[in-house]
Amino acid sequence: MHFHDSMISLVGNTPLVRLNHVTTSTQATVLAKVEYFNPGGSVKDRIALRMIEAAEQSGALRPGGTIVEPTSGNTGVGLAIVAQQKGYRCVFVCPDKVSLDKINVLRAYGAEVVVCPTAVDPEHPDSYYNVSDRLVRETPGAWKPNQYSNPHNPLSHYHSTGPELWQQTEGRITHFVAGVGTGGTISGTGRYLKEVSEGRVRVIGADPEGSVYSGGSGRPYLVEGVGEDFWPEAYDRTIADEVVAVSDKDSFQMTRRLAREEGLLVGGSCGMAVVAALKVAQGLGPDDVVVVLLPDSGRGYLSKIFNDEWMNDYGFLEEGGEQPRVGDVL
Ligand code: PMP
């Protein structure tokens, strides 16, 4: 019989898929690492599993304990799945810019969710960082994974995403492009790829315009899951050779193209990473292999990026991007 013991054993080993239609301006091969094939639908299942197992081993998380984490959704889903299978309770704290779709998913997996305002400083008592700290203090048996400083976040990528990419490309990968949120993906995957290739692989971060990684001050942007207004410990500043800033508009227009032209219904940070990857790929030759990591699925953004009205409200559909809608007089 062929079966898995539980959904946990399906984490990782995601496919690499060539981009064929958005890549007209390059001779290089551009491959997407499609992380929505993880059981929770995002790259964050990888870090959830490793952070929980490490906490069990260190004794920080004990049987019957509660996991408390500030998360924009994807890390929560990964933690919720691993936690329910292992018998832990989950309480998540989210900023209010996160789609209601994402919050409902967390609740569907049995987690509790507390929503906090986005428009306050990280030091403010109502910021999602501070609310989660308070919940940890007040809940007996609570453990906070803290994906922003937990070394097992980048380590999960060092031990899974990095080796997978090296094997899948048979060592031919020349460039790795990933969006930067906590920095775990780029730091862990990038460190592995640099070590195994003896420094040959170039690592490129993709960042929303205004975020600190590309030289901004943390000005608000709408793309979710990436960009920061502080420097997390999970981000190793020595790994990325370059960080490319991408606007919300370019990110979302590319996200819609990926669904229509490549059959990839993915999230906004994926469109952002692909814009950066295509910038990097421009001028590269036929022997170059650019891998871009796509963190999650587009299902959580149907009422935003894939909704013409929402896109129009922000002016994101200008310059020929707008499609006629049912009911429009043509
Ligand atoms: N995209 C999305 C949708 C995410 O949820 C995250 C994680 N915050 C990222 C990209 C960035 O990944 P990382 O935290 O590893 O830098």
List pLDDT tens digits, range 48-95.
Answer: 999 999 999 999 999 999 999 988 689 999 999 999 999 999 999 988
Q: How confident is the model at residue 329 (pLDDT cuts 50, 70, 90)?
A: low
The yes/no answer to whether this complex scores an ipTM above 0.90 is yes
Average pLDDT, integer, range 141-149: 96
- What residue has token string 């963190």? 295
Handedness of CA 138, 142, 148, 151 (dihedral sign): positive
Average pLDDT, integer, range 12-28: 96
Of 199, 178, 306, residue with least CA distance to 244: 178
What is the set of active-site residues? 44
Handedness of CA 199, 202, 208, 209 (dihedral sign): positive
Instruction: State pTM to two decimals.
Output: 0.93
Q: Is 295 in the pocket of ligand 1 (CB under 6 A)?
A: yes
Average pLDDT, the chain: 93
Q: Is 184 in the pocket of ligand 1 (CB under 6 A)?
A: yes
CA distances from 261 to 23, 237, 265, 298, 308 (A): 11, 34, 10, 14, 17
Give pLDDT, residue 122.
80
Nearest CA to ligand 1 atom 4: 225
Which burial class, exposed, middle or buried, applies to 62 when counting CB atoms under 10 A from its CB (0-12, 13-18, 19+)?
exposed
Q: Is 188 in the pocket of ligand 1 (CB under 6 A)?
A: no
pLDDT exceeds 60 at position 250: yes
Note the pLDDT tens digit of each residue in 305-321.
Answer: 999 999 999 999 987 54
Are the CB atoms for 181 and 228 separated by under 8 Å? yes
